[in-house]
Structure 1
Amino acid sequence: MNTTAIEANASDKDVCLVDSASTHTILKDRKYFSSLVFQEANVRTISGSTKLIEGSGKADMVLPGGTKLHIKEGLYSSKSHRNLLSFKDIRQNGYHVETMSEGNIEYISITRECSGKKHTLEKLPELSQGLYYTHISMIEMNAIVNQKGTNYDEFIIWHDRLGHPGSYMMRKIIESSCGHSMKSRQMPQPKLSFCAACSQGKLIIRPSPVKVRNESLGFLERIQGDICGPIHPPCGPFRYFMVLIDASTRWSHVSLLSTRNLAFARLLTQLIRLRAHFPDYPIKKIRLDNAGEFTSQTFNDYCMSMGIDVEHPVAHVHTQNGLAESFIKRLQMIARPLLMRTKLPISCWGHAILHAATHNSHQANKLS
């Protein structure tokens, strides 16, 4: 039997030759491609090198037995006389290819092992020329429109008008809007791209530039602070602890608090101490969270009189005060193993936090 007779018997399925020597799958119809990039290329055959390839992309197909194949890098050639399926692409889908015979009939079987047992999924018969063939068809979910709806071009027109949304958004728009005839039609699989322009235009070729660049800050130009708590059980009278850290040298200070109301007094005490110990390094900025003790008018008036700018991050955007929050997390990562290792009660967390702060300051001094 030749391929012409086989094609005549096949209705909506295309004949595809299966070749062990082919390095890529070659398809002559665009309907199998979920994404396609047009770029001419040469293909090497026995007779030499010819420019047959018109593009490449992801393709999907289903075999007569229901076996679905997802081709990561298929080649498109409308000039090709036959579709060509590579053994490599079959194996990349997790299947095995074996040559078998029943009587005088030789065929290729596509198998898969499941729970230690081998299951035969497809049997590909042999042609008189020594080649093997099968019939391929489109995956139903890969078809964008059904027979009752309008054609594919109308869907693409609306896809262009709406600004190339994804398949999820297209489904919502079609189901919740009127004025078009695209109701109750099949949509493409969400993971498959149905628009080559979207596949290329939304592809991130270069990594995004770093949003926050390294800042060249001097000592005490910016101090960041935060409060952790309430912590249960309390450590004596203490339920909170406050951290202050310099954005330049990573100098840090930790103090235990019984209530959040004491944070204002402890912060002022530390600011006065820093101004006395380092008169040549004025404090320029303080970045604190939006807690009430840091947003009071008394605190703002004091900072204004000292020439200190107070910065508050946007609500619920914790990354803007990430230095202080990461410092709190580091203290906790040191304190918790200390308590577990020494088998002390959890109520000793305050002593462990202060010990972790001392340990961290020693490490910062070694690195600086």
Structure 2
Amino acid sequence: MDLGAAEALRRAVVRERRAPMVWWFGMALLMGGALYLLIRSHSPPLAGALMILLAGGWFAPVLAIISLTAPKRAKSRPPAPGTGSYAEWKQQARLLGRVLLYYEDIPNLSFDMRRRLKEAREDLRDTLRAHPLRDDLERVCGRIRSKTLPAIKYWLWEEYRVFFEQSCRETEEFLAGTEDPNARMVLIQQAVENSATQMSRFVMPRLLERERIKCMHECSRLTATVVILHGRSIPVGELAAMLVIMWSDFSEPWEPGNVVQRIFADTERERKGRIPDQPAESRDAPAPRPEPAATVAGKIPKETAKAAAAVAAREDLPEDVVIRGGKRYRRVRVRRKVKRRRVRHAGPGFGDILLSFGQWLRYSIRAWMLYR
């Protein structure tokens, strides 16, 4: 079985789509050059201005498409804790910042979730401005991946799940009313594609249409594969919408196997009454508080009471307090004031140039009238 046939077909489609674009771009460049040569002999300044306008008209749509393009998806998984170089963690931090900005473009985002995204972005910005070490970058990336991204994914599903549950119920009603296998197959296919497309519009409103249809095709195809392997334990419309939410996270490579396992694990935890993307221990029962130092001292010999009290005090410390050399230190974020760089003697501005030109014109006219 030739596993590269599908990839070769995709490359052929890309070449087929780009060939007319290259042809028309070459023709436009040739016609613009001929027009410039014709006008240049009569008025070189006019020919130069015309070429600038033509170039702006050609490249403006290209720049608009580039600005609307989604961030490039990561090609590899983030480094494991305690590994990775400074450059790798800095690249991860910048990628997470772009993902947070992309999520903030969702128009229906709640106030609390928007505030949470803003706080995470400010935390990342302050860390990058404070000349961070590799451990600092690793910690801030870990906070975003363990707290912010799971929270936004869970909120997106809870916000729009009613819409997709209603859509799945309507699909089941239509399926129950027809016995035609062709109609049933077409209806299921349309339901999956509509769910994926609608969720992509909810989650990624700025996505280009060619990227949106790619997302729809990938999630629909993966939904069909999951149904074949695991059955319809999750309605196909809801499964397609969940896959789109996972697709929207560009900070991780697209790994269908891990994505499907994560969705099934979150769904199983949710059925048991627990919130997905959070540790099961923290949801089942509150974590036991450490015993006071006096209680610990009563259970152990007197010679180790002081050490036990120190251990209990260390366990009762807040998250932002560490002990180094027997002293307590509090981790703080360094906020550096952004000062505008002022350059002296930078020369006159545009307004000063216009004013001086007006004065020159005024006194030239007056001199001509006085000394004619």
TM-score of the two chains, using structure 1 as the length reference: 0.18
More helix by share: 2
State which structure, 1 or 2, has the greater radius of gyration over its C-alpha atoms. Answer: 1
More strand by share: 1
> Which of the pair has the greater relative contact order for Cα pairs under 8 Å at 6+ separation?
2
TM-score of the two chains, using structure 2 as the length reference: 0.18
